Copies of this chain bind each other. A is one copy, B any other.
Amino acid sequence: MPPTALEQQLNFLREIDRLKSVVRQSPLLDQSRKENSAEHSWHLALYALLLHDYAAAPVNSNRVIQMLLLHDIVEIDVGDFPLHAGFSSDVQAKQEAAAAVRLFGLLPPQQGSELLALWQEFERAESEDAKFAKALDRLQPLLINVFTGGGTWTENNVSLAQVVSRYGPVIKRGAPQLWAVCEQWVIRHFAGQTAGSQHKQ
């Protein structure tokens, strides 16, 4: 007997429980441990709910929230690719695309196709919703690094120029007002480091 739609949906919901075990590079703000991709996705959805007025162009905040809830589930198959690790983005993109097909393929066909399309829209980063979602996905770890006195920047010996080039374009494109604030934080952070007094919360 083929599975019912509900059985397929519950199977998907069980499968994505595994995202809670995918550990990211960024710590929690209290630095007690590293963040996982499920709680990161929760946090980002709330960034979208609160900050959508700062998008570069009008966005549908509910679509952005849905994108951000789903954007990392491919990491269940392929893991997290850290921003500062220098992986090939082609290899990463292919592996993630295959993971998306497998995971959304667990769902009833119509629902699976719609959510796969939403995930692909996020990855393409061309629509206003996707550009804003991408900006938030870059903003949240930047905020963590600033407010934990360096975080993954310190661990990876990343310079001010590298931070500006790796975070700036994506955040600026999707949320220019937010980048203006981030840029000031980043400059202050690296100025404090140079002076030997790490920026602490």
A: residues with CB less than 8 A from B are 6, 9-10, 12-14, 16-21, 28-30, 32, 35-36, 38-39, 41-43, 45-47, 49-51, 54, 62, 65-66, 69-70, 107, 111, 143, 147, 177-178, 181, 201
CA distance A50 to B36 in the complex (A): 22
Q: A6-B181, A50-B107, A62-B65 are in contact. Are A43 and B147 (CB under 8 A)?
A: no
Q: Is the CB of A9 within 8 A of B69?
A: no
Query: Which of chain B's residues have a CB closer than 8 A to the CB of A20?
Result: 28, 35, 39, 43
A42 to B62 Cα, complex, angstroms: 14
Partner of A14 from the list B14, B107, B147 (CB cut-off 8 Å) is B147
8 pairs of residues in contact across A and B, judged by CB atoms under 8 Å: A6-B178, A9-B51, A13-B46, A17-B28, A20-B43, A42-B42, A50-B111, A62-B65
Query: Which secondary structure dominates chain A's binding surface?
Result: helix
Q: In the complex the two chains form, is A46's CB within 8 Å of B17's CB?
A: no
B42 and A45 contact, CB distance less than 8 A: yes
The contact of A36 among B12, B39, B49, by CB within 8 Å, is B39
Contacts of A32 in B (CB 8 A): 21
- When C-beta atoms are compared, the residue in chain B nearest to A45 turns out to be B69
* CB <8 Å contact, A18 and B30: yes
Are A38's CB and B42's CB within 8 A?
yes
Task: Say whether, besides A21-B32, A30-B18, A62-B62, A69 and B41 are in contact (CB < 8 Å).
Answer: no
Q: Chain B residues with Cβ under 8 A from A38's Cβ?
A: 38-39, 42-43
B residues near A41, Cβ cutoff 8 Å: 42
The residue on B at minimum CB distance from A70 is B46
A143 near B14: Cβ-Cβ < 8 Å: yes
CB-based nearest B residue for A38 = B39
Q: CA A69 – CA B143 in complex, angstroms?
A: 20
In angstroms, Cα B18 to Cα A200, docked, is 17
Minimum CB–CB distance from A117 to chain B (whole Å) comes to 14
